[in-house]
Amino acid sequence: MECAVYDTYVERKEGGVMHFDVIVEKNASHEKAIEYGAKFLTSVGQEGQPITANECQFCHIQQAPQNVEKDIKEQGFYIQKMEGCP
């Protein structure tokens, strides 16, 4: 499965920045990626933090590894946590 990767930087409520990728099916809309990013923020206690096209930007298309493809098929997205993520 080809997937779209959205590079995302969101300020944490307590200060600092969370850096993560929102990974969705190649044909998913940018708005869907932002929606999934907001869902992730809620799941880690960062609900209400701004996440728009400014914070969540399209990066590239790539082939999804099996674990990523599985999550996309099951829930519509995969989050690749990087810096500052709980």
CATH of the domain at 19: 3.10.510.10
Assess if residue 86 is contained within a domain.
no
Assess if residue 75 is contained within a domain.
yes
- pLDDT for the residue 39: 97
Please check whether residue 29 is in contact with residue 71, taking contact to mean a CB–CB distance below 8 angstroms.
no
- pLDDT for the residue 44: 97
- pLDDT for the residue 73: 96
34-62 pLDDT, tens per residue? 999 999 999 999 999 999 999 999 999 99
Assess if residue 50 is contained within a domain.
yes
**3-state DSSP: the chain helix, strand, coil percent, rounded to 5?**
30, 35, 35
What is the number of domains present in the chain?
1
82 pLDDT tier (thresholds 50, 70, 90): very high
Q: Supply the range of the domain harboring residue 55.
A: 2-81
